[in-house]
């Protein structure tokens, strides 16, 4: 891909900063962009379009447009990706990217644009590497020899990294999105997973990761039987996204996740599972209004995961009428409080063991309520929780191998965590 020029514009289409990389496109082409975007209908905003032989590619972020132009047959998706990487780098340097942060940091912005693209070709796009020679106080830069990572194929990692103790931590985090109808029917269930790493390894280590993913077993011709926490069940993932360090060709070939990790924290991969999941924490609510003078709630919470697991910091939020008053509560576990600013009861349980069932009763005084008020749709009950040493999907790390030419030994630490996502149960 090649881009002839990159512009950063305000919401009126006025140029704040521009960089002409190739000199083959007239810089007044930005006027056509301004007219096109400002006149376009909301439903006709296209991120890529061609006009008079020039291709315009842009993204919108906060109160800015970041736009690239080219007269070549370039890969538009790659240019879009570069623009998004540009935004990520600016955010890393300025904390928040908006018109004011660009105007306050002209010098650094130009330096970053120069380092990230040369003659229209993308170069370094990793903030950790850029920070090695473009510092935050970069008004007067010394001439510094570029780090090895700039000329190395591994642009996300510098050479010569040393740690006193070589360790790597891998967290398999899954968030459960769930929506249950008032009659108990499961309307939506989805698992959003991510593999988050913290790497403190010296040198240039090569890592190989094996998961019990269905695709992996199919590609290698292995059976899905075997031992393990998930009893050998294979997990079928969708929407898999990898960090740039993963060798995609190797993964396509034999499903091996092979990579040289960045130093420090990063997300190795994310995935989605659109699957029927039994609610981990089931809530039943019985609401009894009494002649418009008071209202009673009986809430039953049941954990539907195995006894050996425990959900921590469980928070069950039950909506109540906006004019409810004089609350009183009884509960078999945890604490209950009335949160008038949220129009809700908040039932907190520090540790909710698997296979358990608990009750909570609430009583409120209630001024006269009209029939219209009763007909309104009630907000759903929401649940927050975190279950360590457990994944909903049953995904397992089968192995994590670390190979480095110096031959040092490093132990990987693997944790599994399940959390609530958008977890809602509608009330009758």
Burial of 12 per CB tally in 10 Å (0-12, 13-18, 19+): exposed
Range name among 61-65, 225-229, 318-322 with the lowest pLDDT average: 225-229
Residue 275 has pLDDT above 90, yes or no: no
Confirm if 16 and 103 have CB atoms less than 8 A apart. yes
Q: Please give the average per-residue pLDDT across 394-398, as a whole number.
A: 90
State yes or no: pLDDT of 143 exceeds 80.
no
- Rounded CA-CA distance 186/190 in Å is 11
Comparing CA positions, the residue from 351, 399, 385, 424 lying closest to residue 174 is: 385
Handedness of CA 218, 222, 227, 231 (dihedral sign): positive
pLDDT of residue 149: 57
Identify whether the C-beta of residue 346 lies closer than 8 Å to the C-beta of residue 303: no
Confidence of residue 147 (pLDDT cuts 50, 70, 90): low
Chain Cα centroid distance, residue 193: 9
Which parts of 320-373 are beta strand (E)? 325-331, 335-339, 344-353, 357-365
Is the pLDDT score of 223 beyond 50? no
Task: Specify the DSSP element, H or E, that contains 239.
Answer: strand 238-242
Compute CA 421 distance to the chain's CA centroid, rounded to the nearest angstrom.
Answer: 12
Let me know if 221 is exposed, middle or buried by CB neighbors in 10 A (0-12, 13-18, 19+).
exposed
Q: How far is CA 285 from CA 89, 153, 177, 178, 361, in A?
A: 48, 58, 20, 17, 10
Predicted confidence at residue 198, as pLDDT, reads 97
Nearest to 360 by CA among 411, 310, 297, 427: 297
Share of the chain above pLDDT 70, in %: 87
Element (H, E) at 116: helix 106-116
CA–CA gap between residue 405 and residue 295 (Å, rounded): 70
Kind plus residue range of the DSSP H or E element containing 110 = helix 106-116
Sign of the CA dihedral 89, 92, 97, 102?
negative
Given a cut of 60, whether residue 226 has pLDDT beyond it is no
Residue 212: partners with Cβ closer than 8 Å, 6 or more residues away: 224, 226, 228, 230, 232, 233, 234, 235, 394, 395, 396, 398
Length of the chain: 428
Top pLDDT among 218 and 425 is at 425
- 10 Å CB burial of residue 205 (0-12, 13-18, 19+) is buried
Structurally, what CATH architecture does the domain formed by 167-277+392-425 represent? Sandwich (2.60)
**pLDDT, position 231:** 41
Which residue ranges make up each domain of the chain? 5-151, 167-277+392-425, 281-388
- The fold of the 281-388 domain, in CATH, is Immunoglobulin-like (2.60.40)
Edge-to-edge strand order for the sheet containing 206-211? 257-259, 206-211, 397-403
Which of 174-201 are b and which e, b meaning 16 or more Cβ less than 10 Å from the residue's Cβ?
A: bbbbbbbeeeeeeeebbbbbebbbebbb
pLDDT at residue 217 greater than cutoff 50: no
pLDDT at 142: 42
Give the pLDDT confidence of 181-195 residue by residue, as tens digits. 999 999 999 999 999
C-alpha distances in angstroms, 173 versus 157, 176, 229, 313? 24, 10, 16, 16
The string over 266-277, giving b where at least 16 C-beta atoms fall within 10 Å of a residue's C-beta and e elsewhere, is: bebbbbebeeeb
pLDDT digits (tens, 9 = 90+) for 301-348: 999 999 999 999 999 999 999 888 999 999 999 999 999 999 999 999
| Percent of the chain whose pLDDT exceeds 90 | 63
Evaluate if residue 372 carries a pLDDT over 50.
Answer: no
Indicate if the pLDDT at residue 84 is higher than 50.
yes
- Say whether 174 sits in a helix, a strand or coil: strand
Q: Does the domain made of 5-151 have the CATH classification 3.30.450.60?
A: yes
DSSP state for residue 157 in the 8-state scheme = S
Whether 167-277+392-425 and 5-151 are alike in CATH topology: the answer is no
């Amino acid at each position: 891909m090649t881009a002839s020029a990159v512009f950063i514009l305000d919401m009126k289409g006025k140029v704040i900063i521009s960089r002409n990389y190739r000199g083959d496109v007239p810089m007044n082409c930005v006027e056509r962009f301004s007219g096109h975007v400002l006149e376009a209908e909301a439903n006709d905003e296209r991120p890529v379009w061609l006009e008079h032989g020039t291709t315009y590619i842009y993204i919108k972020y906060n109160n800015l447009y970041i736009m690239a132009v080219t007269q070549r047959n370039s890969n538009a998706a790659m240019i879009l990706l570069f623009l998004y990487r540009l935004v990520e780098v600016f955010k890393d340097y300025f904390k928040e990217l908006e018109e004011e942060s660009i105007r306050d940091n002209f010098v650094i912005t130009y330096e970053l644009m120069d380092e990230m693209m040369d003659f229209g070709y993308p170069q370094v796009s990793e903030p950790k590497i850029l920070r090695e020679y473009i510092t935050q106080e970069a008004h007067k830069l010394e001439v510094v020899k570029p780090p090895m990572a700039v000329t190395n194929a591994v642009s996300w990692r510098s050479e010569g990294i040393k740690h006193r103790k070589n360790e790597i931590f891998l967290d398999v985090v899954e968030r459960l999105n769930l929506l249950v109808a008032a009659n108990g029917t499961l309307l939506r269930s989805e698992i959003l997973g991510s593999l988050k790493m913290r790497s403190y390894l010296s040198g240039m280590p090569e890592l190989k990761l094996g998961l019990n993913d269905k695709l992996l077993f199919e590609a290698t011709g292995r059976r899905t039987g075997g031992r393990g926490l998930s009893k050998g069940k294979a997990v079928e993932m969708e929407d898999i996204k990898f960090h740039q360090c993963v060798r995609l060709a190797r993964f396509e070939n034999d499903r091996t996740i092979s990579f040289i990790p960045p130093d420090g924290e990063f997300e190795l991969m994310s995935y989605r599972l659109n699957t029927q999941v039994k609610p981990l924490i089931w809530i039943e609510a019985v609401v009894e209004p009494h002649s418009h003078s008071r209202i009673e709630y009986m809430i039953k919470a049941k954990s539907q995961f195995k006894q050996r697991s425990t959900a921590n910091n469980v928070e069950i939020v039950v909506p109540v009428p906006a004019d409810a008053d004089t609350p009183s509560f009884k509960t078999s576990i945890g604490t209950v409080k009335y949160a008038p600013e949220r129009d809700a009861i908040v039932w907190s349980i520090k540790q909710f063991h698997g296979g358990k069932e608990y009750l909570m009763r609430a009583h409120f005084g209630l001024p006269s309520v009209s029939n219209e008020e009763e007909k309104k749709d009630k907000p759903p009950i929401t649940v927050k929780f975190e279950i360590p040493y457990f994944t909903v999907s049953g995904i397992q790390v089968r192995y994590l191998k670390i190979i480095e030419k110096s031959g040092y030994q490093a132990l990987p630490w693997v944790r599994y965590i399940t959390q609530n996502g958008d977890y809602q149960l509608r009330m009758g």
